[in-house]
Amino acid sequence: MSLPGDVGCRPATTIRVGRPGRALIRSACLLLLAGWVSTVGAAELPPAVSRALEQAGIPDRSVGIVVQAVDGVTPLLAHNARQPLNPASAMKLLTTYAGLELLGPAHTWRTEALAEAAARDGRLDGNLYLRGSGDPRLGLEQFWLLLRQIRLRGVGEIRGDVVLDRSAFAVAEHDPGAFDGQPLRPYNAGPDALLVNLASIRLTLQADPAQAAVRVIAETPSDGLRISNRLSLGREACGDWREQIRPTVSGQTIELAGSFPASCGEKALHLMPWTADAQVEGLFRALWNELGGSFSGRVRAGRTPATASVVAIQESPPLAEVVREINKYSNNVMARQLFLSLDGERPATAEGARRQVGSWLQAKGLKMPELVLDNGSGLSRSERISADSLAQLLRVAWQSPVMPEFVASLPLAGVDGTLRKRLNGSAAVGRAHLKTGYLEGVRAVAGYLLDQGGRRWIVVCLINDPKARLGKPVIDALLQWLAER
């Protein structure tokens, strides 16, 4: 019998024993194994991890760690395993796995265009209703395709209003600046049953050293959009270039001030400059005009009457593709959309989604008394889960029929997503499917790692500390230690 960490359990010389003797030796070995695991779990961290914690000035009480074989029941390493901690974006593991099981990998969302009467001679005399179902992936291209379908079905002129129906979700009024004081950052968008293009626009910034200027290109069309470009060309390193740009919004005008480093070349700047109604109106008017349509009414919020008939439908990609985008690129807005969609009732509520997740966990035998779910994305100061609960979730997910879709959605170390530039040159490259998490005061990682011996492990590391921003070497040391086993 061989124990973890190259601890052997065998006699120094070969001795033939009967069945009772073999049973005694086996019992002694199991006791030794239990004692070894208990010692590691209770006190010892790998030396490289301890050194990294010391160098970062992070006390080990601020860290929760679990390492366990996917087919094992006893952790190889457990440190503060049941301590409730903020997981940041690692909470998306719970939301996306629950989504795959409760909704199914083939689940799709439908965005519908409806009218109360058919168009005559290309003219729609009444209102056009756009009814959403919470599609996380209704991007610019998909919205254009929906409007194109309407045109192809004989609607050229809309004489009524365009009514935006968000009744599939019942959400409280959302303050985009409440989380971190950055209301123009797209990740701060609230959930919306008719979420179009993630409620954002894309601007491309191009450095032009020959003209000592910065060019701004509005990639996302919006009727009446004006760009006031006051950017100067900087000489500093590219670095965190977004922090050097100061955007302000006044009506349909976006002003960009500050400096854009010439060394950045070309970068995409995503902003959320308007309310949901105003954003959809600007996009609708611009695209409808491009498609050759005319529109003389208003764009407003409202409900679709029961007498309306479907004119066109735009269906989302299947959930299996959506969760890849959520986890690979840690998309908070899409995760919030999926979380609300877990509620089986309509209109969906956050409380209903929490109840649904709680019932699902209970049915799977997963007890998480410390779990605090806010919006399911991890972009929250209140969400809590323990390293042990995350590890058990990952263990059950590994045994689930949706395991292939779930694991494939996670960033692959050194290859793609949020881990594309992480762990390069280490033994973990191409061998670790991991979800990262980062907030002020939080660093996290959780997922699966295949060691050099061909054994797959569950690994969870949660750091909650004022110095958590310095915790990346701690997590990397843990992953390197495990990968080299």
pLDDT tens for residues 265-318?
A: 999 999 999 999 999 999 999 999 999 999 999 999 999 999 999 999 999 999
Q: Which residues pair with 69 in a beta bridge?
A: 457
Helix (H) or strand (E) holding 309: strand 309-315
**Tally of helices (H runs) and strands (E runs) in the chain:** 11, 21
Contacts of 344 (CB under 8 A, 6+ apart): 352, 356
Report whether pLDDT(20) > 60.
no
Q: What is the pLDDT of residue 44?
A: 84
Question: Is CATH 3.50.80.20 the classification given to domain 110-175+275-317?
Answer: yes
- Domain residue spans of the chain: 1-44, 47-105+321-483, 110-175+275-317, 201-271
Q: Report the percent of the chain where pLDDT is more than 70.
A: 91
Length of the chain: 485
Alpha-carbon distance of 90 to 338, in angstroms, equals 15
- Strands ordered across the beta sheet of 226-234: 226-234, 253-261, 245-250
- The pLDDT tens digits of the residues spanning 430-482 come to 999 999 999 999 999 999 999 999 999 999 999 999 999 999 999 999 999 99
Report whether pLDDT(158) > 50.
yes
Average pLDDT rounded to a whole number, residues 34-53: 67
Tell which CATH classification among 1.10.1050.10, 3.40.190.10, 3.40.50.10860, 3.40.710.10 matches the domain 47-105+321-483.
3.40.710.10
Alpha-helical segments (H) within 109-237: 140-152
Entry pTM: 0.90
Give the tokens for residue 359.
Answer: 């019932």
Q: Confidence band (pLDDT; 50, 70, 90) for 485?
A: confident
Residue 323 CA from chain centroid, whole number: 8
Q: 80 — alpha (psi -120 to 50), left (phi > 0) or beta? A: left
Q: Roughly what angle, to the nearest 10 degrees, separates helices 276-290 and 140-152?
A: 50
- The pLDDT tens digits of the residues spanning 172-200 come to 999 999 999 999 999 999 999 999 999 99
Q: Confidence band (pLDDT; 50, 70, 90) for 10?
A: very low
Q: Are 113 and 149 in contact (CB under 8 A)?
A: yes
Backbone angles phi, psi at 216, to 5 degrees: -120, 125
